[in-house]
Structure 1
Amino acid sequence: MKLIPFFLLSILISTGLTAQIHQTTRQGDRLAKVRELSEIPETEEVRVLSVDPSREFQTLLGIGGSFTESAAEVFYELSKERQAELLKACFSPEGAHYSLTRTHIASCDFSLRNFTYAPVTGDLELEHFSIEPDRTWLLPLIKSAQAVAGADFRILASPWTAPPWMKDNKTWNGGKLLPEYYGVFSDYLVKYIRAYAAEGIPIWGITPMNEPLGNGANWESTHFTPDEMRVLIKDHLGPTLKKAELDILIWIFDQNRDDELIDWTNTILGDEEAAAFVAGTAVHWYESTVSSSGEVLDQVQQAFPDKQILHSEGCIDAMGDDETIGAWLEDDWYWRAEATDWGYIWASDEDKPDHPPYRPFYRYARDLIEGLNHHLTGWIDWNLLLNFRGGPNHARNYCLAPILVDSGRDRIYYTPLYYAMAHVSKFVRPGAVRVGLSGQDDAFLATAFRNPDQSIAVVVFNPLEEDALYSINLPGRPEPMTIRIPGQALQTVVLPAGS
């Protein structure tokens, strides 16, 4: 188990024109700097990746993780020295430099308890509204992240439930928001945005509800049909934000990349008045552990090319059901097909093939690359950090985070998942444009972006056990560069502008 973050070990990118190559491997490299080959073995096949900067696709919003109350509570178990180290690892340019984050509006499953900002039943004017519950852990963590030198991130915020008194079942889990409270709930979200702004924390975007299809009423949730969400946005939330003069982006759906996504986008984005308030669609990845659902993403993008698609949540879940509990504290576990998710248990026989035991590092590397290749404009992981048990969590649905803390021992474990994310977040920056790339396939995954500084970043994943050779062809570069990538390795190649 490695307890040292890569930014304390790796060499910083130089300002010269030499390509920079960093790799993370099963054998132990963590964003280690490597060189291109000076001589190409005649007996080995060389794959060719051809970059075409003239072909442009989506513009990246950012990559990062989520601020939760659980993560914040664990963070404050650390010493000041370890806290500074962890924040630097996440938000500094010398670290992963996360640029897009998420947080919850009132309580979620990764809170320590149920709470709402509007606790008084029937308070239609929201006179008793207060974000006081966030002052103990969550607000201080976000402010500490903002204070990191070089930090630059946006925040997407999502409610898991409306205040229970606004719902038909009058409780936290499940149920629907009563139509007579659509306007009050919209005011509730505006008050939240303004309250956070008053704390110096600008909210960049919101989803009207996390997982509106529900979660089996196992933790905070509020159910919506696509048409109910259309009405909420069109007649209440959109106009309320506009009247408040808040330039906040609305992202619909906020659930799994499955066929339901098609119905939701057709219903809401197909209504011109509702769509006028919507930036795009937020999606999760829990429908499958082995697929990025690229066909569904492509279908949505083709139908609504002026709207964006954002991955708002994903994690390694079902840790409480893992028979090898604690195995995730070993680096090599992330490369072994031993992790299972809740779908492994509850999926129908028809859907079981989407939920086999899987390799966590593969899942992150594949979803980042294939998701971006299928139009995702951003990618947000779930909890920034958790304890070694995958909590705390009042709903007892323990999950992994890219960074784990050994509670009471002041130790931090930067899992291989953290490095998988850093391969993209550190080198592909907000404003980067995905460009044409050929030569990749299911056995050799790759994506390419042109950064705002005009550098080209190519992220490559070799899921096979055998080493491979590949070359990168870039127009204007005198000769292609050839690189060896180990089996089961992830590399990022940065070609500076003018190279």
Structure 2
Amino acid sequence: MKLFKTYPLFILVITVMACTKEKEQSKTLQVDVYETSASGNKLTAVQTISEADTLEKITLFPEKELQTITGFGGAFTESSAYLLNRLSKKNRDTIIQAYFSKEGANYSLTRTHMNSCDFSLSQYSYAPVEDDMELEHFTIQEDKEDLIPMIKDAMAASEDGFKIFASPWTASPWMKDNNEWVGGKLLPKYYDTWALFFSKYVDAYKAEGIDIWGFTVENEPHGNGNNWESMHYTPDEMTNFVQNHLGPKLETDGHGDKIILGYDQNRAGLKEWVDSMYATEETSKYFDGTAIHWYESTYEVFPEELQYAHNKAPNKLLIETEGCIDSEVPAWKDDMWYWSKKSTDWGYDWREEEKKYLHPKYAPVNRYARDIIGCLNNWVDGWVDWNMVLDTQGGPNWFKNWCAAPVIVDPEKDEVYFTPLYYTMAHFSKYIRPGAKVIALESTADKKFMVTAAKNPDGSIAVVVFNEEPQARDFSLTLKEETVNLHIEGQALQTIMIPSRK
């Protein structure tokens, strides 16, 4: 009798345990994980399920949508385009595909320069003839040998297409108060001529089969220490130029759909610029957003300034339009250099003493990963790298302002080196697509373990996690009622893809 009474209970317990186990299994979050690490992974698909007892906890809230992503990418410069033309067709195609194909980084937002910049082979202008007020001699001939072919090749490789915006470093010297390439201001009598310059640029590139998405008004309006091409504006001067000249001219000429981004320099100066740009409905009319750079600091994201800019104009774009490893000759085929705190920047040597603390030695991968995640977590909707390709010297650059790029080439030997920075950029550009919504999340981890997430238009969710420290971490990722426990090595970046639930 005792056995008879116990037996059904035993069956019941087993059945409940089996159902509970099945229920637990059904609540496991299904993910694909891609990792780049100091240990050698390069956007590698990995299986990193953790069985640790102590876990950091990341919880996603996809119903809480934040900014809409415009895109990620890099810049077409004459230097990069010139180098591509010196490589074999095989290596040129490899680089273009790596940046723009779906199998590669799938860049979606790009920049180029109007007239020359420091990463040009020489100084030139599309308006070379003095006092040509109507720009009858306007020409983009300088771009036709290198720059335009690179852009066209990228367009051919990109299945999804990409946006391209253009930035001037300076007007022609004859339009400026100092008659120089470097420094000085645009003379008021040439404001309308300079606005016409933008309109003619759109038409000229359209004739080449390239649609320009928009502009920044001026690269680094504070100047660059009077080193290479530059032209200065105060906030109110730029606002006046856009409100009364550039915006109306583009509109009159049928280019009113072109995006205009104001400012275009370091984040520390954001407040005074957005206060001017967005002071009234009239001043705001032609500004579609604000452009920013990262050179104020090698580690500080400036969240207060980014939050301020967003709150000042919550419906406007906020795009990081330039960042790079500057003042460095890039390491050649030495991945660990990019993971090690050996790099310095302009501020390490030249910044005033009271602000040198903003420029310690740093690891290039850390700088990219931390900044992109920090930006996405503070309302930035696009992030654009600087040169796509440079040589082993960090050029060519007429001013010898050496920098690093995600792809380094040796044109003499026809060799290509994809640095860890390329894979770092791809963790975002490949998996977070235009139109994605950054979503809210909660994390129990400290500041050395950074995370951001976005929901793509197809319903998939991309979660990017960066572990800056050398120690490995274990963490749980929860979406609604589903959880997965994951492991990440020290000095590693992961993109975790959650398939669409549609």
Structure 1 residue 25 corresponds to structure 2 residue 37: yes
Equivalent residue, structure 2, for 1:218:
227
Name the amino acid aligned to 2:457.
Answer: P
Is 2:295 the counterpart of 1:283? no
> Match of 1:430?
434
TM-superposed deviation, 1:149: 5.0
2:24 aligns with none
The CA distance in 2 between the partners of 1:448 and 1:474, in whole Å, is: 12
The one of 138, 160, 165 aligned to 2:147: 138
Aligned AA (1:159): P
Residue 87 (structure 1) shift:
0.7
Paired residue type of 2:406: P
* 1:151-188 residue CA offsets vs partner (Å, 9 max, x unmatched): 51100100000111100011100000001110100001
Query: What does residue 35 of structure 1 align with?
Result: 47
Q: In 2, are the aligned partners of 1:118 and 1:128 still within 8 Å (CA)?
A: yes
1:232 aligns with 2:214: no
Per the TM alignment, residue 329 of structure 1 is displaced from its structure 2 partner at its CA by 3.8
Q: Which residue of 1 aligns with 2:16?
A: none
Cα distance in structure 1, aligned partners of 2:494 and 2:251: 44
What is the alpha-carbon distance in structure 1 between the residues aligned to residue 345 and residue 330 of structure 2?
15
RMSD: 1.3
TM-fit CA distance, 1:371: 0.8
Name the counterpart of 1:269: 278
Q: Determine the C-alpha separation between the residues in 1 that align with 2:379 and 2:332.
A: 31
Q: 1:355 aligns with which of 359, 380, 390?
A: 359
Q: Which of 445, 454, 477 lines up with 1:449 in the alignment?
A: 454
Distance in 1 of aligned mates of 2:449 and 2:76: 33
Please report the TM-score for the alignment, with normalisation by the length of structure 1. 0.93
The answer on 1:96 being equivalent to 2:105 is yes
Find the aligned partners of 1:34 and 1:216 in 2 and give their Cα distance: 46
1:300 Cα deviation after fit: 1.3
Q: After superposition, what is the alpha-carbon deviation per residue over 1:338-365, rounded to whole angstroms, capped at 9, x for unaligned?
A: 1000001111111011001111010001
Following superposition of structure 1 onto structure 2, how do residues 141-152 of structure 1 map, counting pairs within 5 Å?
Answer: 141-152=150-161
The 1:132/1:337 distance shift into structure 2, 3 A limit, reads same
- Cα offset for 1:274? 2.2
Q: Superposition pairs for residues 335-374 of structure 1, below 5 Å?
A: 335-374=339-378
Q: Is the 8 A contact 2:330 2:404 kept in 1?
A: no
1:388·1:407 contact (CA, 8 Å) conserved in 2? no
Q: Is the 8 A contact 1:328 1:334 kept in 2?
A: no
1:60-459 equivalence runs, <5 A: 60-246=69-255, 247-258=257-268, 260-319=269-328, 327=331, 329-439=333-443, 440-459=445-464
CA deviation after TM superposition for structure 1 residue 390, in Å: 0.6
Gaps of 5+ in 2: 1-28
- The DSSP-based 3-state class of the residue aligned with 1:316 is coil
Match in the other structure for 2:490:
487
CA distance, structure 2, for counterparts of residue 19 and residue 419 of structure 1:
20
Does the residue aligned with 2:354 lie in a helix, a strand or coil? Answer: coil
Q: Which residue is equivalent to 1:4? A: none
Q: Displacement, 1:441?
A: 3.7
- In the alignment, structure 1 residue 461 sits paired with structure 2 residue 466: yes
* Corresponding letter in the other structure for 1:450: K
TM superposition shift of 1:327: 3.7
In 2, the alpha carbon distance for the partners of 1:226 and 1:387 equals: 36
CA apart distance, 1:41: 2.9
Q: Which stretch has the larger CA shift, 459-468 or 326-335?
A: 326-335
Aligned length: 472
Q: Secondary structure at the match of 1:376?
A: coil
CA displacement 1:89-135 (0-9 Å, x = unmatched): 00000000000000000101100000000100010111100000101
Of Structure 1 and Structure 2, which has the larger fraction of its residues in helix?
A: 2
AA partner of residue 110 (structure 2): T
Deviation at 1:476, TM superposition (A): 4.8
Q: Is the 8 A contact 2:330 2:394 kept in 1?
A: no
How far the C-alpha of 1:216 sits from its partner, in A, is: 1.3
Q: Distance in 2 between matches of 1:327 and 1:161?
A: 31
Q: Cα distance, 1:77 vs. partner?
A: 1.1
The percent identity for this pair of structures is 48
Shift in Å at residue 302 of structure 1? 1.6
What is the identity, as a one-letter code, of the residue corresponding to 1:495? I
- How far apart, in 1, do the equivalents of 2:87 and 2:332 lie? 20
Q: Residues 149 and 271 (structure 1 numbering): CA distance in 2 closer, same or farther, change over 3 Å?
A: closer
Aligned amino acid, residue 39 of structure 2: Q
Residues 210-251 of structure 1 deviation map (CA, whole Å, 9 limit, x = unaligned)? 101101110000100111111101110010011112110100
Residues 108 and 220 in structure 1, CA contact (< 8 A), matched pair in contact too: yes
- Find the residue that maps to 1:126 and give its secondary structure: coil
CA contact (8 A) 2:395 2:402 kept: yes
Question: Is the counterpart of residue 54 in structure 1 residue 63 in structure 2?
Answer: yes
Residues 486 and 205 of structure 1: CA distance in aligned 2, closer, same or farther (over 3 Å): same
How far the C-alpha of 1:261 sits from its partner, in A, is: 1.3
State the distance in 1 between where 2:240 and 2:434 align.
32
Tell me the equivalent position of 1:9: none
Tell me the secondary structure at the aligned position of residue 220 of structure 1: coil
| Cα 1:149–1:300 shift into 2, 3 Å | closer
**Would you say the 8 A contact 1:145–1:151 is kept in 2?**
no
Listed as ranges, the matches of 1:2-17 within 5 Å are none
**Contact (CA 8 Å) 2:69, 2:434: kept in 1 or not?**
yes
Q: Distance in 2 between matches of 1:327 and 1:150?
A: 32
Give the 3-state SS of the residue equivalent to 1:76 in structure 2.
helix
Whole-Å separation in 2 of the counterparts to 1:211 and 1:400: 20
Q: How many Å separate the matches in 2 of 1:367 and 1:287?
A: 12
